[in-house]
């Protein structure tokens, strides 16, 4: 009997640990943390390559920047969950968040988010003052400008939110080269322009949820047709941006252009489809693959320049 109780207790403990970890990762939005770290690392990597410095000789900068960025992104995401505690229960896709289920108390979330942000900034300032300042700018853009101000008030909230999403590659670059060059701003612009069609696709899938929560997302306020036109316009704006990274070579320009053409064709197709939500899901998936392929290819091509 004692062995049975021990096994039962162990199983219960494992389940509790797994549930806690799942809730914790949901709280910090681990998917957003991981995707943003790709862009941080790309900024770091390109800055090292273009300045003829070797990252193995400056591993401290690499660690400070990646750890610091992960912490401020996770902290900002947790702060966003804390701020949205009143509206998340109205959205089916967000009812499992630990701030909604009560798994994490609001005071604990606020303390964790604040601690992560402060600790993250300590790491970023250890990398460079510019990286630390840009980290603060990213936090303010996401937590204040987006989460607290524009998200519930303005249809342009997605564009405002795109500012914070475009800052991570600048942080990575600034950690190595505090004086940001054209390459750094090219990464910023690519990330800024990529986000509206990416998030509009997600907003189309969740239109009724956003409507129920009273959030003025573009599909809610202007409808699907207007949203499709906006997505097409943002995709077109991506076409000249890879040419700002000519230092990566013609092969990169060709790859980026092919990715843009594929996204453009898919965006145009949206005006003829019968199932808008199915198309929106395809656009969303393409945007994720687009970002991943583009930024990983930058890392690869930078080795050969």
Domain boundaries, the chain: 27-303
Question: What pLDDT score was predicted for residue 96?
Answer: 84
Round the CA-based radius of gyration of the chain to a whole number and report it: 21
Cα 140 to Cα 157: distance, rounded to the nearest angstrom: 14
Cα 3 to Cα 9: distance, rounded to the nearest angstrom: 10
Question: What pLDDT score was predicted for residue 244?
Answer: 96
Buried b (16+ CB within 10 A) or exposed e, 259-276: bbeebeebbeebeeeeeb
CA proximity to 219, closest of 193, 200, 195: 200
Question: What pLDDT score was predicted for residue 75?
Answer: 96
Please state, for a pLDDT cut of 70, what percent of the chain lies above it: 94
Prediction pTM value: 0.90
Residue 102's region, left for phi above 0, alpha for psi from -120 to 50, else beta, is left
Question: What pLDDT score was predicted for residue 92?
Answer: 86
Do residues 155 and 93 make contact, with C-beta atoms less than 8 angstroms apart?
Answer: no
Task: Render pLDDT for 252-267 as a digit per residue (tens, 0 to 9).
Answer: 999 999 999 999 999 9
Question: What pLDDT score was predicted for residue 54?
Answer: 82
Low-confidence ranges of the chain (pLDDT < 50): 1-16
Could you tell me which CATH number the domain at 27-303 has? 1.10.600
Question: What pLDDT score was predicted for residue 107?
Answer: 93
Question: What pLDDT score was predicted for residue 95?
Answer: 85
């Amino acid at each position: 009997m004692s062995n049975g109780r021990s096994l039962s207790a162990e199983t219960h403990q494992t389940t509790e640990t797994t549930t806690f970890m799942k809730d914790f990762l949901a709280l910090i939005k681990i998917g957003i943390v991981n995707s943003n770290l790709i862009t941080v690392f790309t900024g770091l990597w390109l800055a090292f390559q273009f300045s003829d410095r070797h990252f193995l000789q400056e591993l401290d900068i690499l660690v400070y920047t990646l750890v610091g960025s992960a912490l401020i992104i996770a902290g900002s995401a947790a702060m966003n969950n804390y701020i949205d505690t009143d509206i998340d229960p109205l959205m089916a896709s967000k009812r499992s968040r630990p701030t909604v289920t009560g798994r994490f108390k609001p005071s604990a979330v606020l303390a964790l988010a604040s601690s992560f942000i402060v600790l993250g900034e300590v790491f970023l300032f250890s990398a460079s003052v510019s990286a630390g300042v840009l980290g603060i700018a990213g936090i303010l853009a996401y937590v204040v400008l987006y989460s607290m101000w524009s998200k519930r008030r303005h249809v342009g909230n997605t564009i405002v939110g795109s500012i914070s999403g475009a800052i991570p590659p600048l942080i990575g670059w600034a950690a190595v080269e505090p004086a940001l060059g054209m390459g750094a701003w090219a990464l910023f612009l690519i990330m800024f322009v990529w986000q509206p069609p990416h998030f509009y696709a997600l907003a189309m899938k969740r239109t009724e949820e956003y409507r129920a929560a009273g959030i003025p997302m573009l599909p809610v306020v202007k409808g699907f047709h207007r949203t499709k036109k906006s997505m097409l316009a943002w995709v077109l704006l991506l076409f000249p941006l890879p040419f700002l990274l000519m230092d990566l070579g013609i092969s990169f320009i060709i790859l980026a252009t092919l990715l843009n053409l594929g996204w453009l064709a898919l965006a145009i197709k949206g005006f003829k489809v019968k199932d808008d939500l199915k198309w929106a899901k395809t656009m969303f998936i393409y945007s994720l693959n687009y970002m991943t392929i583009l930024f990983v290819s930058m890392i690869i091509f930078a080795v050969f320049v």
